[in-house]
Structure 1
Amino acid sequence: MAAAAALALASPLRRLLRAPHPRGAISAPYYGITRGRCSSAIAVAAAAARNSAMKGSVDRNAAEEVRNILDMAERASQLRDVFHTNFLTPPIIKEAMLAIEKLADIKAVAQGGYPQAERCRISVGHPDSMTSNPDVVAALSISGNFRLEPCSHGDFLGAILGTGITREKVGDILLQGERGAQVLVDPELVDYLISTLEKVGKVGVSCTQIPLLALEYEPPRTKSSKTVEASLRVDALASAGFKISRTKLASLISAGDVRVNWTPVLKNGVTLKSGDIVSVSGMGRLKIGEIVTTRKGKYAVELIRYL
């Protein structure tokens, strides 16, 4: 009884932070709900898009997240409302946006706070209800004297999660060296973090909200190289780009640790094209640049490694 009474008295924000969501559910604040008729056409399109999205995915967790987002899109269309996901990882963003494109009467916007953001929130709604981009991402500056106690991305993330916030409520973290970091979060948690976050590692910090335009980010650093290969297979180009043997890369592919454009690949023979992004767990990312066919019928390929 005491536990039940304590839960009843808990603040709505505390319940938001600590209470687990039901299995398969995505937290979606409701804004200005206007009831509308259910569109059977949207439901059919959503079901078809779900099936199509699932066929090419080997990541069951990502597949379930995409299904949930499509269900959210259905509800948004039926209610002529706008719903928002939590912060999502790049593979889920890619699959969800591709699937939503197949739905009629649905508009979707992915926002992470700045152009190069990796973790983003997707807002879905009926076009009549989404006349402007929703304000679903807030920026915080976490400042302190980190000159003698430098802290990593993991230190800042750990301090934020230590307040009780779950990972999906936090977007990208932009390190600022001795000054601290800038963090993208769910706007509902701004006041909570400002009043709660006091330390990162051993360093005392202050936390303040800043405009998104005040974010300090730089384009990712890259290093380019060239290789000449007999084919454009992923095992040939990625082994050259990451400086590892094809045998090693083949084992990584078999283990599901290699992705092309955020989608896992399970075969060495997948063909790449200019603009494709190859990511290998623990090794980073590689972009395929210009491809030129040589006189001998081979391929001279520019490989752009993200540092």
Structure 2
Amino acid sequence: MNKNEFLNRFTNKDRLILSNIFDKINLAIKVQVPIYTNEFYTTDICIEVKKLSTLLGVKIETYGIFENSERNMMAFSYEGDNYCYFPLKLIKIENKSKFNKLSHKDYLGAIMSMGVNRNKFGDLIVIENSCYVAVSEEIASYILNNLNSIGKCTCNICELELTKSNIPKIKFEELNIIVSSLRLDCLISSICNISRNRAVELINRGNVLLNYVTEKEKDYNVSFGSTITIRGYGKFKLFCDTGVTAKNRIKILMKKFV
């Protein structure tokens, strides 16, 4: 598969990002050793690239430190090669203020305001007064040496070893909903507890993202494992079905990111 054939497999994706990924894959084939990206990619890109593994002739693995990471680095190699190293670090940012709380948005904005490209760091997990961030190895020192406050809050920042005890788990709130089908508008209506018409309005306005891409087809059939982001309502993962009702409606377990 040449680069143009690879790029044409994707729609509505950044072609420069995809071109860089293809170059990494091509390098792995040439040198016959595992090659790693130094950037993080959203789930939709990782899923679509991994689908092409056989056609590309490489084994593809992803890693973002956290369980069920939404942003991951990728590694490419021949079948049988072992992956032993991803160029990333885990940093912990601790808010020392007793009076001001910081949210996910505050930590994200602080790192972005330093001029760090969003692709250079992965998920941010906020637990109480601390934020855990997966960052590219090449910018870890820069963040560690320069981030000492967020707004009016003084912060301590340090690097953590990648041990099981140091890696927090993403927290979810479980939601049980009942739908007539897995159509996008049906799911939005039940998740948000709004009418079907109101759900369609949200979809038409571009307020609904499916696997991080705006989806405007109200009758799109959503698959399990998909992530649905609804502006103003939150981010959800369509986890699994748990049975059917007496009226043959589908019982669904959703997980809301908290």
**Short-chain TM bin:** 0.7 to 0.9
Distance 1:165 1:232 in 2: 38
Q: Deviations over 1:254-307 (max 9, x none)?
A: 3444344555544222234555543334432142532645565x3232242415
Which one of the candidate residues 200, 205, 216 is aligned to 1:250? 200
Which residue of the partner structure matches residue 148 of structure 1?
A: 99
CA distance in 1, matches of 2:70, 2:95: 25
Higher strand fraction: Structure 1 or Structure 2? Answer: 2
The residue type paired with residue 69 of structure 2 is A
Give, in whole Å, the separation in 2 of the partners of 1:141 and 1:276.
28
The letter of the residue matching 1:86 is E
Deviation at 1:84, TM superposition (A): 1.0
Matches of 1:275 and 1:155 in 2, distance apart?
Answer: 28
Per-residue CA distance 1:70-125 (angstroms, 9 max, x = gap): 34312321233414141112222222222334321x12221111212211111223
Change (3 A) 1:170 1:294: closer
- 1:94-243 equivalences under 5 Å are 94-104=47-57, 106-127=58-79, 130-178=81-129, 180-213=130-163, 214-229=165-180, 231-243=181-193
User: Match of 1:267, SS?
Assistant: coil
Structure 1 residues 167 and 97, CA gap change in structure 2 (3 angstroms): same
**Unaligned segments of structure 1, at least 5 residues:** 1-42
The Cα of 1:224 is off from its aligned counterpart by 2.5
Which one-letter code corresponds to 1:289 in the other structure? C
Distance (Å, rounded) in 1 between the aligned partners of 2:111 and 2:91: 11
State the alpha-carbon separation in 2 of the partners of residues 185 and 274 from structure 1.
28
User: Is residue 2:43 matched to residue 1:90?
Assistant: yes
Quote the RMSD (CA, aligned, Å).
Answer: 2.9
Higher share in helix = 1
User: Matched residues in 1 for 2:102 and 2:184: separation?
Assistant: 36
Conserved? CA contact 1:146–1:177, under 8 Å: no
Q: Does structure 2 conserve the Cα–Cα contact (< 8 Å) formed by 1:182 and 1:215?
A: no
TM-score, normalised to structure 2, is 0.82
Task: Quote the Cα distance in structure 1 between the aligned partners of 2:4 and 2:175.
Answer: 43
The aligned counterpart of 1:38 is: none
Give yes or no for contact 1:89–1:118 (8 Å, CA) kept in 2: yes
Answer with 64-73 or 205-214: which moved more: 64-73
Say yes or no: does 1:74 pair with 2:53.
Answer: no
Matched positions, count:
254
**Using a 3 Å threshold, how does the CA distance of structure 1 residues 275 and 117 change in structure 2: closer, same or farther?**
closer
Q: 1:138 to 1:270 in 2, by over 3 A?
A: same
Matched, 1:279 2:232: no
1:267–1:162: structure 2 CA closer, same or farther, 3 Å change rule? Answer: closer
Residues 166/264 of structure 1: CA separation in 2 closer, same or farther (3 Å cut): closer
- Check conservation: 1:151, 1:201, Cα contact below 8 A: no
Contact 1:69 1:85 in 2 (8 A): no
Secondary structure of 1:70's partner?
helix
How many percent identity over aligned positions?
22
Alignment-mate amino acid for residue 127 of structure 2:
Q
